[in-house]
Chain A
Amino acid sequence: MKKQESENAIEVKNVYKKFKLFYDKPNTLKERLVFWNKSKVDYHEVLKNINLNIKKGETVALIGVNGSGKSTLLKLMTKIIYPTTGEIKTYGKLTSLLELGAGFHPDFTGRENIYFNASIFGLSAREIDARVQDIIDFSELGEYIDTPVRTYSSGMYMRLAFSVAINVDAEILLIDEILAVGDQHFQEKCFSKLQELKKSDKTIVIVSHSLDSIKKLCDRAVWIYQGEVRMDGKADKVIDEYLKVCG
């Protein structure tokens, strides 16, 4: 039993997540005092009784239509938000790519931003020093790396952000809809990097709508429908079923 548990990278147990829906969100003291029992609060249940175990080394895709709760589940795994009830456990160093370039400072150069961004992911200065060349090479920014990020095109910005996140060397990688970064060439590069990470036994969880890439990359897919797990199994089977119903 004990061994079983240590093989899991992510354990999701009976997780429910409700969001408060305010029509008028009281943000100030006056509003809180005046409307303290008048403000209408509705709860929107985004996730209902999710149970999911993801094993170490697995590459799992979360699929589903917009608003089905995939991204919320991913945010719960990162510990940006917390479940209303239930619990989520993760084992190992975790990096999430929910939005590329979160925390980039426009006035700092690309190189300075590598340091700042990687430190948000919990790397020490020495660890960043060791990776900085890999990151720059992967981003293919060349001489632009020492110019301020505000001068970058959006594609360059994304390339830099992706390069940092992918070189952090986390054991668990959570990715939200970012396979479509940069031009064709860079996309292919990202894709092969992900395949390389997969081979090196990293655990990867991807939320994506590009079903073809998922089929190629993931062994397992979980279909989330209206906050519940509708189907869980081999990637091609789940995707075929998903396309039958939603396509």
Chain B
Amino acid sequence: MLQELYNYRQLLKSNVKKEIRGKYKGSFLGVIWSFVNPLLQVLVYAIVFPFIMKNTQENYVVFLIVGILPWTWFVTSISQGTSCILANQGIIKKVYFPRTILPISVVTSGLINFLISCIIIFLFLLISGVGFSIYIVFLPLVILIQYIFSLGVLFITSAIDVYIRDAEYIINFLINMLFYATPILYSPDIFAESPISLLIKANPLAIIITGYRDALFYQTMPNLSSLFIAFLGSLILLFIGIKVFKKLERGFAEEV
């Protein structure tokens, strides 16, 4: 499979380009929207949340940005990527190419978007005075875990979506739930005493987001053992995802 993907690397490249360029095509600001959008979202939470919750978080805006930008990568990959097979039914029916290219290019274009938006994170870290520390070296590791995890999820959801079109809506609902179950707007410490903390510990995205916060915001040693578990779990998920995708892809051209 890797050999075949290598042979088709040019298709992967042009697909990623198309994915990045095509999304905001026709809008005035174009690609800039993919960075402005999450920032506007941060603005909303930064205004609303301190009102309704007793907020004791210092530098809440930076705290939010470090959580929301990676989350945006995850959410756009899964919620828009789930229909990637259906969206490309034209070429799927006509040409052979490794179908795995489609979900991979969705997550990869998300990754590139995220890497660029890291500049925004760095800017905010600088301006707010939080600054940088040596623990930033763990950033690539966390990004890698999120990439593998997103890919594993997307392989499964995009393949299932071909057979059951409801998948999109169900997944959007689940992602909405997951947003609040992941410590993005709040710090996991506020649940330290309650059983909810167990739920957060079992949530791989919580581990990933906490990883970003440790490396960039709190500037402490990330919890390596839980990151390792998340890494291992993501690899297993990716493996299962590929198996499921390979099994279901045989029917794609007939089902779409």
**Could you list which residues of chain A lie within 8 angstroms of chain B, going by C-beta atoms?**
19-20, 27-30, 32, 75, 78-82, 94, 96, 98-99, 102-103, 105, 115-116, 118-125, 128
Contact = CB atoms under 8 A, between A and B. Distances in A.
A102 B94 CA distance: 6
A123 B97 CA distance: 11
Contact of A103 (B7, B95, B166): B95
5 contacts: A28-B165, A81-B253, A96-B96, A99-B94, A118-B10
B158 to A, nearest CB: 16
A103 B10 contact: no
Contact of A116 (B14, B90, B92, B251): B14
Nearest to B10: A119
Interface residues of B, number: 24
Given A27-B165, A123-B10, A103 B96 contact: no
Contact of B166 (A20, A30, A128): A30
Contact of A122 (B11, B18, B253): B11
B250 interface: yes
Contact of A115 (B14, B170, B251, B254): B14
Contact of B254 (A19, A102, A103, A121): A19
Contact of A128 (B10, B90, B253, B254): B10
B93 interface: yes
B10 A80 contact: no
A210 B251 CA distance: 32
Contacts of B93: 80
B132 interface: no
A124 B10 CA distance: 5
User: B interface, by DSSP: helix, strand, loop or mixed?
Assistant: helix
Interface in B135-175: 164-166, 170
A29 B166 contact: yes
B94 to A, nearest CB: 3
B9 interface: yes
Contacts of A75: 253
Contact of A120 (B11, B250, B251, B253): B11
Contacts of B33: none
A175 to B, nearest CB: 13
Contacts of B96: 78-80, 94, 96
Contacts of B170: 29
Contacts of A125: 10, 13
Nearest to B249: A82
Contact of A80 (B8, B13, B18, B94): B94
A120 B250 CA distance: 18
B91 interface: yes
A13 B156 CA distance: 32
B227 to A, nearest CB: 36
| Residue with the highest number of chain B CB atoms closer than 10 Å, among A102, A118, A122, A128 | A122
Interface string B1-43: 0000001111101100010000000000000000000000000
A227 B96 CA distance: 23
Contacts of A20: 254
Given A82-B251, A119-B8, 20 more contacts: A20-B254, A27-B165, A28-B166, A29-B164, A29-B166, A29-B170, A30-B166, A81-B253, A96-B96, A98-B94, A99-B94, A103-B95, A116-B18, A118-B10, A119-B11, A119-B14, A120-B97, A121-B97, A124-B7, A128-B10
